[in-house]
Structure 1
Amino acid sequence: MDVTTSLASQSYAHARAAAAPNPQAAGPASSAFEDAASSFADTLKTGEDAAKSAMTGGADPHALVQALAQTELAVETAVTVRNKVVEAYQEILRMPV
């Protein structure tokens, strides 16, 4: 093995360790994102469960409409957040260096 290959492998090892995820260093922003994603998934699951029970005749129509409205609102919110993130990313790409 020549010197450049050894140097490259050492640099790769250092870079890999530096880029490894560290859950303790994530901070409150990551926790807030995890909470939002968990809440979104729970809302979708509630809507699906209400729809399943309505199909089998075990759910109140009012509860079904309410669950579907909450699900629709959650999806619209997620799409809006996604669009804002994409817009911000595109704005960063347009910045002159």
Structure 2
Amino acid sequence: MSVATNIASWGNSEAVRIPKSLLRSVGLSAGDSVRIGTTERGIIEITPIKREHRRVQPKRGITFDSLFEGYKPARQNAAAPWPTDDMLGAELEAWS
């Protein structure tokens, strides 16, 4: 994805506006830290600075137990050392 934009003055610096859709496509948003540099060929690179995992709060009423409510794993054949490629338990019901 590429977009056309302009370089503008911003105080004592120059700025480039990056469309939200472009940022979202690479997993960035306003406030994220990035490193800006150039390559030997004169290409400007913007690289995200690794950040800690963002904790996501579940919707009200969602608990660990409620996520697996109704899940019934299928019994595995004790003679088989590894499960078959067939779908097991609730997975089969979900895709049927």
Indicate the structure with greater strand content. Answer: 2
User: Smaller-chain TM-score range?
Assistant: under 0.3
Which TM-score applies when normalising by structure 2? 0.24
Which TM-score applies when normalising by structure 1? 0.24
